[in-house]
Chains A and B, each alone.
Chain A
Amino acid sequence: MMRALEIVLERLPVMLLGMISMYALAQTTQGWEISGTVTNDSGPVKNAFVIITGPESVSPVRTDGEGRYSLHGVTPGRYSLRVQKKDNTSEPRSRAVSLSNGLCLQVDFRIPVGAVLAGRVLDQDRQPVPGVVVLAMAKSGRGGRVHLKMSGGDKTNDLGEYRVAYLPDGAYVVAAAASPLKFRKRASASGTATVKGNHPITLYPGSRALETAAVLQVRSGEERPGLDIVLRKEETKCVFFRVNGAFAGAQASSTNILLEEQIGANAPALAQGEITGAGPYEICGLPPGEYRLHLSSATVRPFQVLGYQMALAVVDKQDVDLGSLEPLAPGELRGKVTVKDAGADDSVPAGINVRALALESSLLNLATQAGAVQPNGSFVLPQVYMGNNAVRVDGLPAGYYVTSASQRGKNVLDGGMLPGNGDLQITLGADGAVVNGRVLTADDAVVPDASVILIPTGSGALQVVQADQAGTYQFPSGVEPAEYRLAAVPNLTEWQRQDPATIARLAAGGAECKLGPRESRIIDLRVQSSE
């Protein structure tokens, strides 16, 4: 009897799916299978990567000549499915799918035409500047940090023209990166004369700071010509440095440098290269400004960081000598997790992990260091980069949420955590609410793939989740008890997410939702218009 009920429950999403024509259904004997096609305006898209992430690690697959793909796995759960194609970043957004044993799901992707940003790069005399790399960077902001994501690029031709195509809907800043700065060994009797150089990074229409750059909101199929970027030339200077320590040229490892201007996370590198000895080295062509030089030493296979250092170079009227830099070995980070309102003898739930996420340098983008939390709440992260880290807490059981992560009394959840700067104190709330439900049309038909937004009526960050193929949504672990508005739209774009007017409109049209401690709520939502 129980077994029969389980089968019915497993099939429930399947029955709901029958109403949606885009999903075809079948039975498989073991595990789950997703298959489908990827198409664009001109037909099937071959060699597109289809990537699935979720409870089970499944290797990405590529579409064949007819644009078909197929993925299978054995672990049920909620997964995220997306398509990625090189040279064509106009990817559709990811899909949330709930997968159960025996489910065969068909998910077809249609890649939209994409938007085009085009213009010229000119010097102060309005003459074209060839060979400039122009990057369209999708702008988003979470937790006070501006995040830039490289979404497409082109190089100007001899007429100074650039054209970045296939861009997904979004908000972009356009950055012109003048030719990479010269990173090289200094000759023995070197003396540098002053050379005028373009600003290494100029943001459309002609700004060096993100605050004064134009943010371009574009939609699929839209073409924005005439985005001319004017470069300014200034006298440039050099930054000198040497590299100290066993890391330079250590066996089976390489030491690399990367220079960036302080624009935002993932700003394009101005210069990079490999260190082959103590030096001296120089990077020339820098106009006045503040720059960060990252020095990082790592073994390649397996990838393991041996050391890291960041030096700030303030360039003004003179060359700058940073002296001798030495990659610092990663440091140990200790800390304690406490649960709010828990008794002194209560143990912290099992399965929680604390991660340090290196924020400073794109050299370390992949690098995270994790440690398991012991029943008494203590944890040790043996090797954390000597740089700016953010804190992530994974594996929280239902009802738990992070209220704070602090080091020396400073909130370091979104950055500023440094090993050696004292223990990390993480406080969890255990009285979180559980919110889930379905997204429906006015006549009660389920809406798959909708964005569901939890908007705090007071202060706090938005939370957005995606409904699965059956229109069901679910916020992860615990939601902090408070008053919220809950809204659903077919698709929330990044720029809508950042637009207070859009969020206010969605909040007004959404459901009121006051979440008490440990409350479990099933809230079905009517989908609102995205526009």
Chain B
Amino acid sequence: MRIRALLTVVLVVCPPIIRGGQSLIAVIDSGSEQPISGAVVQLGREDGILAETETGTDGKAAFPALQPGNYWVRLEKSGYADLLARQGQGRRLVVPADRENAITIHLTRTVAISGQVFDSQGSPRSGVTVTAVVRRSINGDTRIVPTGEAIPTDDGGRYRLYGLPPGHYSTAAIAKGNTAGSEVFAPVCYPGSREAEFFDLKAGEVKTSANLILADRGGVTISGTVSGIPRDKYPNRASVSLVAAGALKTPIATAWTDTDGSYVFNGVSPGEYQLVAWARIASGTLGTPLAGTDACSAVRAVSVSSGAVQVDLQLQPLARIRGRLIWNRGIGNTSTPSGTGRIVFHSEDGWPDEWLPAASVDGDRFTVDGLPAGRYRIAMPDLADSYRLASVQVGNATAPDRLVDIGGTAPLTIVLTAATGEVSGSVSDTEGKPARGVVLLSPADEEGSAQVQNADAGGRFRFSNVPEGKYRLIALETLDSTDYLDPVEALNLDGKLIKVEAGQKLTSDLRLIQR
């Protein structure tokens, strides 16, 4: 009988028949305004993908007529990026009841960066991980964060990073996530120091010879002992990472301790660092340092100038954080955000963001397994458009600036608000005449995606249901760069800082920025 069960019957189903009217999506190159053929268009709702098709030579893709509601659209075309897509999730698409189903989507040509990595003697270095970096505003600070795919240099020390949306970039050579032994790799930004030099890449441009010169080993030794390692559990050791402080927070070395807890890093350059130690309680796998409650950890800041430094660390168990989401729906609003997305904990103590566990959200409850004790700022970057994170409460006390101390047992409460206002205005060109353009409304001092609108023929725009908060309002001829996300470049965009309050109607007139 089992043999028969192996012979699986192959059934055939008929393709769905498209009835009635259609929805047309037109895909256009934002630079040339020419249609883009061969772009894969995926259309979906919250519960999954609805349809997938490809644009024809006219740049258009047809879908069955869409019911009014919320959708997402994801576009794939090599050499192009959708500047309004959320990471990996496509762009939101609201189909209103009173509009015909014709949608135009602009894609922008991506940029590339190539170069070579050398050591201080001028020899090419293979196998060095290189990443593109951008400036972003996190917790009000300007940080340098890796973006796109990090790749190792080839056997000739060469690298090429591509598929990046236009904007200001630099590159950095960083240590791999799990360097073995106590070998220290000092991160270097283009062209050859910790200070990154940024360059502007417009749609379709390629930066060549973005060469990086690695620093020599430093002369400082950091050593010490990690205590509190779980005993009688394989591997009877802790892992210790040396993390560079400063704008580019990145681990530069990771080592196992000995079974007695001792560790050493040789060849460290003078500077500011965080030492991070962790060990698994239940299993010997390395994986990401923190995930699950079966780990314990410690972190300490250290400043080194010369000679040898001793730093001892005491491991502490990691907590399971529980909390609730409360939706303050505002007047007349009865909807609940369908996708709340990630709850991000940014460490104020030097834990690299990528090492911190993600919260799992189930309805209005969330849990985070394995967050080390310390200070965190909480953000929710994927919230639905009409909602914003209003405040965070620990027990009954409201945390100032969403900064919380994790370590106690008091549950967290995150309050989301849908208290909204309205922002409207008009766009004019340099001669004061009304102008068509793209209007961006982006959160001013926290993560989150921007809302975008095309001004009408009279230069008018209107954002309704804007959650309370501070925003930057920018008018551009076209959206062809990520510079609005770069805190340094955003200043050149002449954005207007506005504050939206519940129930208020705000009018703001904008001058078009020509680039």
Q: Would you give the 0/1 interface string for B62-73, flagging 1 where the beta carbon is closer than 8 Å to chain A?
A: 011000000000
Q: Would you give the 0/1 interface string for B1-25, flagging 1 where the beta carbon is closer than 8 Å to chain A?
A: 0110110111111111010000000
Q: Would you give the 0/1 interface string for B32-64, flagging 1 where the beta carbon is closer than 8 Å to chain A?
A: 000000001000110111111110000000011
Q: Which of A258-291 contact B (CB under 8 A)?
A: 284
Contact B152 A87 (CB under 8 A): yes
Residue of B13, B79, B123, B183 touching A240 (CB-CB under 8 A): B13
CB neighbours (8 Å) of B151 from chain A are 155
Min CB–CB distance B167 → chain A (angstroms): 16
Q: Which of A478-509 contact B (CB under 8 A)?
A: none
Given A46-B183, A65-B183, A312-B10, A157:B162 Cβ within 8 A: yes
Given A47-B180, A131-B78, A158-B163, A321:B11 Cβ within 8 A: yes
Contact B163 A130 (CB under 8 A): yes
CB neighbours (8 Å) of B181 from chain A are 46-47, 62, 64-65
Nearest chain B residue, comparing its CB with the CB of A312: B8
Contact A313 B10 (CB under 8 A): yes
Decide if A530 is an interface residue (CB 8 Å cutoff).
Answer: no
A158 to B162, CA, bound (A): 6
Q: Would you give the 0/1 interface string for A410-437, flagging 1 where the beta carbon is closer than 8 Å to chain B?
A: 0000000011110000000000000000
Q: Which of B133-157 contact A (CB under 8 A)?
A: 151-152, 154-155
CB neighbours (8 Å) of B126 from chain A are 165
Min CB–CB distance A371 → chain B (angstroms): 19
Nearest chain B residue, comparing its CB with the CB of A161: B160
Decide if A184 is an interface residue (CB 8 Å cutoff).
Answer: yes
Q: Would you give the 0/1 interface string for A295-337, flagging 1 where the beta carbon is closer than 8 Å to chain B?
A: 0000001000000011111100011111101101001000000
Given A186-B48, A188-B47, A420-B3, A318:B8 Cβ within 8 A: no
Contact A320 B11 (CB under 8 A): yes
CB neighbours (8 Å) of B49 from chain A are 184, 186-187, 190
Nearest chain B residue, comparing its CB with the CB of A62: B180
Contact B183 A319 (CB under 8 A): no
Contact B52 A193 (CB under 8 A): yes
Contact B16 A311 (CB under 8 A): no
CB neighbours (8 Å) of A165 from chain B are 126, 154-155
Min CB–CB distance B485 → chain A (angstroms): 22
CB neighbours (8 Å) of B110 from chain A are 158
Nearest chain A residue, comparing its CB with the CB of B42: A182
A187 to B5, CA, bound (A): 28
Contact B11 A184 (CB under 8 A): no
Contact A191 B48 (CB under 8 A): no
CB neighbours (8 Å) of A313 from chain B are 10
Residue of B2, B47, B78, B183 touching A386 (CB-CB under 8 A): B2
Given A87-B152, A116-B155, A191:B8 Cβ within 8 A: no
Decide if A120 is an interface residue (CB 8 Å cutoff).
Answer: no
Min CB–CB distance B376 → chain A (angstroms): 29
Decide if B230 is an interface residue (CB 8 Å cutoff).
Answer: no
Q: Would you give the 0/1 interface string for A147-171, flagging 1 where the beta carbon is closer than 8 Å to chain B?
A: 0000000110111010101100000
Decide if A192 is an interface residue (CB 8 Å cutoff).
Answer: yes
Contact A191 B16 (CB under 8 A): yes
Size range of the interface on B? 35 or more
Decide if B112 is an interface residue (CB 8 Å cutoff).
Answer: yes
Given A46-B181, A130-B79, A321:B13 Cβ within 8 A: yes
Min CB–CB distance A154 → chain B (angstroms): 8
Contact A166 B155 (CB under 8 A): yes
Decide if B127 is an interface residue (CB 8 Å cutoff).
Answer: yes
Nearest chain B residue, comparing its CB with the CB of A63: B181
Min CB–CB distance B38 → chain A (angstroms): 8
Contact A318 B14 (CB under 8 A): yes
Q: Which of A440-478 contact B (CB under 8 A)?
A: none
Residue of A62, A87, A318 touching B127 (CB-CB under 8 A): A87
CB neighbours (8 Å) of A321 from chain B are 10-13
Min CB–CB distance B121 → chain A (angstroms): 11
Nearest chain A residue, comparing its CB with the CB of B54: A195
Min CB–CB distance B113 → chain A (angstroms): 10
Decide if B305 is an interface residue (CB 8 Å cutoff).
Answer: no
Contact A320 B160 (CB under 8 A): no
Nearest chain A residue, comparing its CB with the CB of B164: A158
Decide if B303 is an interface residue (CB 8 Å cutoff).
Answer: no
Nearest chain B residue, comparing its CB with the CB of A387: B6
Contact B162 A163 (CB under 8 A): no
Decide if A194 is an interface residue (CB 8 Å cutoff).
Answer: yes
Min CB–CB distance A72 → chain B (angstroms): 18
A87 to B63, CA, bound (A): 45
A195 to B52, CA, bound (A): 7
Decide if A189 is an interface residue (CB 8 Å cutoff).
Answer: yes
CB neighbours (8 Å) of A195 from chain B are 40, 52-54
Contact A191 B50 (CB under 8 A): yes
Contact A196 B44 (CB under 8 A): no
Contact B13 A192 (CB under 8 A): no
Contact A158 B52 (CB under 8 A): no
Contact B51 A158 (CB under 8 A): no
Residue of A116, A186, A322 touching B8 (CB-CB under 8 A): A322
Contact A386 B6 (CB under 8 A): yes
Contact B79 A158 (CB under 8 A): yes
A131 to B110, CA, bound (A): 14
Residue of B14, B47, B154, B163 touching A163 (CB-CB under 8 A): B154
Decide if A110 is an interface residue (CB 8 Å cutoff).
Answer: no
Min CB–CB distance A423 → chain B (angstroms): 15
Min CB–CB distance A176 → chain B (angstroms): 14
Residue of B9, B45, B53, B155 touching A187 (CB-CB under 8 A): B45
A12 to B383, CA, bound (A): 76
A310 to B5, CA, bound (A): 10
A178 to B54, CA, bound (A): 17
A312 to B127, CA, bound (A): 40
Given A130-B79, A131-B78, A196:B50 Cβ within 8 A: no
Min CB–CB distance B182 → chain A (angstroms): 9
Decide if B283 is an interface residue (CB 8 Å cutoff).
Answer: yes
Contact A129 B155 (CB under 8 A): no
Given A158-B162, A192-B16, A314:B10 Cβ within 8 A: yes
A256 to B161, CA, bound (A): 32
Decide if A82 is an interface residue (CB 8 Å cutoff).
Answer: no
Decide if A185 is an interface residue (CB 8 Å cutoff).
Answer: yes
CB neighbours (8 Å) of A157 from chain B are 112, 160, 162
CB neighbours (8 Å) of A326 from chain B are 5
Min CB–CB distance A244 → chain B (angstroms): 11
Contact B44 A328 (CB under 8 A): no
Nearest chain B residue, comparing its CB with the CB of A189: B50
A318 to B64, CA, bound (A): 20
Q: List 18 A-B contacts (CB under 8 A).
A: A47-B180, A64-B181, A130-B163, A158-B78, A158-B112, A158-B163, A185-B48, A187-B45, A190-B48, A192-B15, A195-B54, A301-B283, A309-B8, A320-B10, A321-B10, A323-B11, A325-B8, A326-B5
Known: A191-B51, A195-B40. 20 other contacts (CB 8 A): A64-B181, A87-B127, A165-B154, A165-B155, A185-B48, A186-B49, A189-B50, A193-B51, A193-B52, A193-B63, A309-B6, A318-B14, A318-B15, A321-B11, A321-B13, A323-B11, A328-B6, A386-B2, A420-B2, A420-B3
Give the B-binding residues of A (Cβ under 8 A).
Answer: 42, 46-47, 62, 64-65, 87-88, 114, 116, 129-131, 154-155, 157-159, 161, 163, 165-166, 184-196, 240, 284, 301, 309-314, 318-323, 325-326, 328, 331, 386, 418-421
State the 7 A-B residue pairs at the shortest beta-carbon distance, nearest first. A191-B16, A187-B48, A158-B162, A165-B155, A311-B8, A193-B53, A321-B11
